[in-house]
Structure 1
């Protein structure tokens, strides 16, 4: 005979989400002994590792879930840690049968992979990528973001993961899996999470790596980081067509590409090259975003700091007889967008009615309007 009170208690506690794995702790086998004695809930749980950064949050939510069960007057919580064997079993379950260091986002994936590229730096690509990720997450999608700009990483700061001293939290490790920090509903990984400042240095150190190290880093981000089931994976690419662009083309030939430019011809002429290189690896250019476009002044006049027409020119240059590349949006110059980026709060969240936020939201709408198709992909279905 089962105890109905204990069953209700186990159901409530098991439904608590692990904030890093984003799955119920009951599903992750983190719930242990459950009993009710004289209206006191006795709950045992185990964390994945010693010093788990989410320990306090999990304990608080487990207590609240247990206390919400009718008839419970108090909660006695016992917190332990998984054994090495239990952690191994957990990582095997999280991989879903994949071998360690196997690429989960290659051809056949149901996750839509989008590389955000630019021909040159300084066009606001990272700011746009961070806001696009937050906008997609705000629509209920499961979103991951890889900061592939190893030399010029900025995503942690743009999403508010850096503290006042510029320090960024490291991913939690479960054996050989890394759990990415989550900001504004977006799972994020960046080389900035692994660098620490030395005496007399700035917030984080610099990266001075060549091709092989860069390739290995991006590969590890894609294979060793547990993103879980994603609807969209964005990659904030470095400017240009160098080592990382080639590596991503080799690792993710199925990725879609979003090209970012400014209206200025000096930027738009170079932006075309990033799209052409992507196509050489089999990737598909899905659109162009023109950033830093004309802004409307308080008197109603238009101010074109960087000129006009660059985005449309890139779209025309990348279009052909077999495919048309659209200009998805022109994002106007926006002091609000810049200020929110410096504050680590995406403007699409802090100021959704700002003209720049509205333009970025249109890009998100265009992406969600064209989900990944299932044609040619094997589905994990078996006849019964």
Structure 2
């Protein structure tokens, strides 16, 4: 597991022994985002010092110099999915920044291949989709769709939100996250094998979800969310209303059937992933909810909040399953491991907590 912090470092942890393996030192300001490459061979970190660094997870060494080019903070990182990588190549990295641009990096030669410009304000999130498209959400209230098969040409601008776009999620997120890995724990021997396996996994999960179409949901400071089919239309499929304050985080369930949203109105809402219709509200937090994460089997959700707790919710009964106190202050981030065994959380109390399920 890798974490980034306000002490200008990132850390790699061994989840089995709960001990730090390596401290990644090199940034000159807070580390705002961390991301594993889809083959697990590189860690990327983005910082408030306007740079990105690439690291070897086994040794904790920085791979060459920092990636420079952005003129403001790095807000988000997203790797090219394994099944889209050109044979013989390594995955590329997309970075978004407060400077309004997205940059595409060659992770081997560590050079910027091209810059995607068009947003007129900070880019808050970037996601590399499973069909060769890149999606970005911005404080300019738009979401842009870029075609990575033609040098990152902007092919769609989605304008419906009335305020900042905070976050976006794809119905294919889980398939992209799994990549070439599976339950056996055996890693593919070659990169060709990894690509083949990743494509099989991707197609299998998409097929099981009953749709090869990549749907997207966006969350905004305007209290709303929109559901899109970005390849088909510039018009949203649904406008999802009900939250009383800004929506900070959204996530499609691994099977694409549901969407969950976390809001500063202290609630979590569950929606239908196909048509965006409202299903249920989970209440229990007594302060802003920052993030939510799904269990791989889609049965449970975990949320983290300003109220210092994590809460696990049962999707079927729509009730609180477990309350997880333990942090001494606000809990900013939470993630659930793909094997379902662990939840990890990070908070203002400088602690990373690992919870076993």
TM-score over 0.5 for the pair: no
Please say which structure displays the higher CA radius of gyration: 1
- The TM-score, its normalising length taken from structure 1, stands at 0.27
